[in-house]
């Protein structure tokens, strides 16, 4: 007899690799879990072969069920995780909001920011479903390593104690270090801004700068986003944890990171459209890099290294512009 209980029922919205991975983790932990898929072919592959078409090497838990009906996925779920790209998040949240019940907790796993509103994903969820508790999931969690059973981390953040405890319980697995935070804004903002540092670091590597430069790029770009976070009200300590420096180190160094691949290719002089066309998914860091300047302007800050990264992303400056802006930043401080 299947011991899965309705009390632990969970839903995941989003059929990319993150959605499938989180759904697998919860199903493997014995929770009844339903994965909502936009694509009927993906739903069929999950149900029939217990594989995600984009990751055929990784077997999904046999108890995981996929559906193309959002109402079916959400029915009776106490926890709903949303792993849809930020550009499609508001549309998904709108549909979720129309079906959600107040007792359901909604968590975003998306490390992105909406343009041009600059809303974080939990704000999008809260606006769509004001009666539900909302939260986010950060940490060092590249899906390929989670699926391979390698040590990874999840930071679950929500002002609702009940909601974050529910999410932490549902995601518990022997290879996952799970931490919880009541400071949703800090964890979510840091999880977005960190990609700016990862992309900057990878631009330097792609452009042929050395590891002295790599350390410098990381230190300076991190200092800039830390000052931005502080100005916006985020706890600077969050930058020191797995959602901050941990995720920066991961996405600046892992060959599996999309944001690293984007930065490396920018550094090699490729254009953004060409790079994105060659990647399996659109890196969330593009939106993060573009968001820093308006966020900084709103806070009255000037962040020259982040501004140079944005110029390099848009092809306005060459990758080596990073060197000049870094040297100038330090000379300026010397006075």
Ligand X SMILES: O=C(CO)COP(=O)(O)O
Ligand Y SMILES: NC(=O)C1=CN([C@@H]2O[C@H](COP(=O)(O)OP(=O)(O)OC[C@H]3O[C@@H](n4cnc5c(N)ncnc54)[C@H](OP(=O)(O)O)[C@@H]3O)[C@@H](O)[C@H]2O)C=CC1
Active site residues: 194
Asked if 267 interacts with ligand X (CB under 6 A), we say no
> Known binder of ligand: residue 18?
yes
> Known binder of ligand: residue 63?
no
Of all helices (H) and strands (E), which one includes residue 236? none
Asked if 111 interacts with ligand X (CB under 6 A), we say yes
Binders of ligand X among residues 170 to 189 (CB under 6 A) are none
Task: State the minimum distance, in angstroms, from the CB of residue 29 to ligand X.
Answer: 20
Decide whether 9 or 52 has the Cβ nearer to ligand X: 52
Closest CA to 81 of 196, 163, 7: 163
Asked if 196 interacts with ligand X (CB under 6 A), we say no
**38 CB contacts (<8 Å, ≥6 apart)?**
15, 68
Neighbours of 180 (CB within 10 A): 17
Asked if 142 interacts with ligand Y (CB under 6 A), we say yes
Closest CA to 291 of 154, 88, 127, 121: 121
Indicate which single residue of 63, 283, 287, 319 sits in contact with ligand X (rule: CB under 6 A).
283
- CA–CA separation, 244 and 194 (whole Å): 6
Task: State the minimum distance, in angstroms, from the CB of residue 42 to ligand Y.
Answer: 7
Task: State the minimum distance, in angstroms, from the CB of residue 315 to ligand X.
Answer: 21
Asked if 154 interacts with ligand X (CB under 6 A), we say no
Binders of ligand Y among residues 19 to 48 (CB under 6 A) are 19, 38-39
For residue 116, whether the previous peptide bond is cis, meaning omega lies within 30 degrees of 0, is yes
- Which residue, chain included where needed, has tokens 């319980």? 169
Which is it for the CA torsion 47, 48, 53, 55, positive or negative? positive
Among the listed ranges 99-107, 213-221, 255-263, 307-315, the one in contact with ligand X (CB under 6 A) is: 255-263
Annotated binding site for NAD(+): 14-19
């Amino acid at each position: 007899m299947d011991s899965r209980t309705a009390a632990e029922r969970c839903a995941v919205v989003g059929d990319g690799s993150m959605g499938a991975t989180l759904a697998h983790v919860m199903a493997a932990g014995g929770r009844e879990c339903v994965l909502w898929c936009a694509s009927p072919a993906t739903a069929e592959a999950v149900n029939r072969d217990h594989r995600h078409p984009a990751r055929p090497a990784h077997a999904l838990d046999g108890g995981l069920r996929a559906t193309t009906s959002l109402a079916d996925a959400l029915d009776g779920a106490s926890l709903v995780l949303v792993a849809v790209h930020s550009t499609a998040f508001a549309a998904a949240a709108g549909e979720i909001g129309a079906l959600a019940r107040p007792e359901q907790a909604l968590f975003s796993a998306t490390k992105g920011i909406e343009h041009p509103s600059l809303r974080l994903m939990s704000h999008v969820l809260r606006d769509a479903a004001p009666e539900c508790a909302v939260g986010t999931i950060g940490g060092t969690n590249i899906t390929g390593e989670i699926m391979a059973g390698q040590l990874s981390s999840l930071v679950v953040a929500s002002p609702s104690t009940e909601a974050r405890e529910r999410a932490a319980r549902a995601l518990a697995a022997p290879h996952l270090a799970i931490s919880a935070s009541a400071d949703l804004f800090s964890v979510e903002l840091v999880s977005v801004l960190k990609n700016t540092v990862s992309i900057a670091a990878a631009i330097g590597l792609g452009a042929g700068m050395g590891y002295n430069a790599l350390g410098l790029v990381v230190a300076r770009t991190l200092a800039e986003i830390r000052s931005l976070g502080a100005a916006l009200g985020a706890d600077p300590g969050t930058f020191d944890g797995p959602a901050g420096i941990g995720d920066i180190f991961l996405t600046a160094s892992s060959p599996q990171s999309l944001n690293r691949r984007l930065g490396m290719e920018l550094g090699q002089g490729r254009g953004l459209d060409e790079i994105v066309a060659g990647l399996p998914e659109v890196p969330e860091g593009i939106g993060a890099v573009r968001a820093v300047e308006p966020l900084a302007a709103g806070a009255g800050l000037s962040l020259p290294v982040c501004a140079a990264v944005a110029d390099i992303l848009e092809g306005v400056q060459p990758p080596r512009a990073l060197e000049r802006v870094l040297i100038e930043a330090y000379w300026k401080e010397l006075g």
